[in-house]
Amino acid sequence: MNKKNISLTSLVKTSGCAAKLGPGILHSVLSTLPKFHDQRLLVGFDTSDDACVYQVNDATVAIQTVDFFPPMVDDPYRFGQIAAANALSDVYAMGGTPATAMNLVCFPSCLDIEILKEILEGGYSKVGEAGAVIAGGHTIADPTPKYGLCVTGFAHPEEILTNANAKTGDLLILTKPLGIGILNTAAKAGLLSENQAELTASVMATLNKYAKEACRGLRVHSCTDVTGFSLTGHSYEMADGSRKTIELFTGQVPILPEALEFASMGIIPEGMYNNLDYLEDKFTCKNPIPQNLQDVLLDPQTSGGLLLSMPETDAKEFLKRMEIHTPYASIIGQVTEPKEKPLVFL
């Protein structure tokens, strides 16, 4: 198969984080499994957090995560960058610094091996940008190409962030725009312009390293990254884990150009419907919102931004620091005492 003529996205049914199992299915399995108990395991999967945290000694914790998925773009190098940025993000969301990474590769034997080289080069570029190192990996032959990383990072125990510690009065900040899943679906259908496709890919390939660094010295009560479970899903997990209600200012959520238009046309990834099935009884709308906006709020993101819960003064300082990195970081909600539903769309 000629490298120049191959479209990576033509080899997959679903792409990026939209390929993940639906949250309802996953929860039904995980909830039946026995739980391990170890006093050094500070964060496991009980609160649906982004990574596990294991205490090495009094001054150091190890943060471990793994993430891989099928391509959402046709360019192999860009795919490698996005997959690596997505996997590294979980360490940043937990307050850590990535140190080592291991490649995870599924690759069709019919493809030119040069494509695999470019995928790996893309991953290497982002791991290097993160200041980490790739130390090996694992490959298997598979009809559907997939790539990602197993990442280990480190932090001081007092630096660890979780998705279950939001405080009443906090403001919610989102650091990347929504609509990635919808736009990737439009691109697969050949409906996206070249400029819009490049903007979407650039957002996905941006490391959350810079958002994490902008938090230095500020009070961050809770943090997660927004991926396949959507802004709605990750906000719900934060509200539920913190035993609070989160009110989302839906009119202030940053959204990529054309995402609302494609949603209105029904260009929706399957993952959005999986998210809706699981979440529809967990949120309420104070006022009616357009259907296309609700679809974007439930859209599965690939390599999305950080969602941070911070006191107002810290949130405003954080936004000032982020101005040099992105025009998208925005205050999108607030944390309140528990109400009838854990999530309210305003």
State mean pLDDT over 199-211: 96
CB under 8 A, 24+ apart: contacts of 189-196:
189/267, 191/262, 191/267, 192/258, 196/256, 196/257, 196/258
Percent of the chain with pLDDT over 90: 76
Residue 171 in contact with residue 247, Cβ under 8 Å?
A: no
Banded model confidence at residue 5, pLDDT cuts 50, 70, 90: low
Structure tokens at 167: 């405080």
State mean pLDDT over 258-269: 95
Banded model confidence at residue 93, pLDDT cuts 50, 70, 90: very high
| pLDDT tens-digit readout, 322-340 | 999 999 999 999 999 999 9
Res. 18: pLDDT tops 80 = no
**17 an active-site residue?**
yes
The alpha carbon of 182 is separated from its chain's Cα centroid by a whole number of angstroms, namely 15
Which of 275, 345, 335, 282 has the alpha carbon at shortest distance from 18? 275
Residue 206 in contact with residue 326, Cβ under 8 Å?
A: yes
| pLDDT tens-digit readout, 249-262 | 999 999 999 999 99
Strands (E) across 133-251 are located at 133-141, 146-155, 171-174, 222-225, 245-248
- The 8-class DSSP code of residue 190 comes to T
Which of 19, 88, 94, 112 has the alpha carbon at shortest distance from 49? 94
- For the chain, give the mean pLDDT: 90
- The 8-class DSSP code of residue 110 comes to T
Report the pLDDT value the prediction gives residue 2, as an integer from 0 to 100. Answer: 45
Q: At what angle do helices 180-188 and 194-205 cross, to 10 degrees?
A: 140
Res. 17: pLDDT tops 60 = no
Which of 175, 158, 172 has the alpha carbon at shortest distance from 242? 172
State mean pLDDT over 103-127: 94
Question: Residues 17, 52, 106, 215: which is the catalytic one?
Answer: 17
State mean pLDDT over 154-173: 94
Considering the entire predicted model, what is its pTM? Answer: 0.90
State mean pLDDT over 25-46: 74
| pLDDT tens-digit readout, 269-286 | 988 999 999 999 999 988
Name which residue leads in pLDDT, 23 or 72: 72
Q: Other CB atoms closer than 10 Å to residue 195's CB: what's the count?
A: 9
> Taking CA 221 as the corner, what is the angle to CA 216 and CA 224, rounded to the nearest 5 degrees?
85
Banded model confidence at residue 1, pLDDT cuts 50, 70, 90: very low
Integer Cα distance of 335 and 186 in angstroms:
34
Report the pLDDT value the prediction gives residue 42, as an integer from 0 to 100. Answer: 79
Give me the domains of the chain, ranges plus CATH numbers. 3-159 (3.30.1330.10), 171-345 (3.90.650.10)
| pLDDT tens-digit readout, 40-59 | 887 766 656 567 888 889 99
Report the pLDDT value the prediction gives residue 109, as an integer from 0 to 100. Answer: 86
State mean pLDDT over 72-94: 95
Which of 117, 109, 106, 119 has the alpha carbon at shortest distance from 76? 119
Integer Cα distance of 250 and 247 in angstroms:
9
Percent of the chain with pLDDT over 70: 92
Report the pLDDT value the prediction gives residue 189, as an integer from 0 to 100. Answer: 87
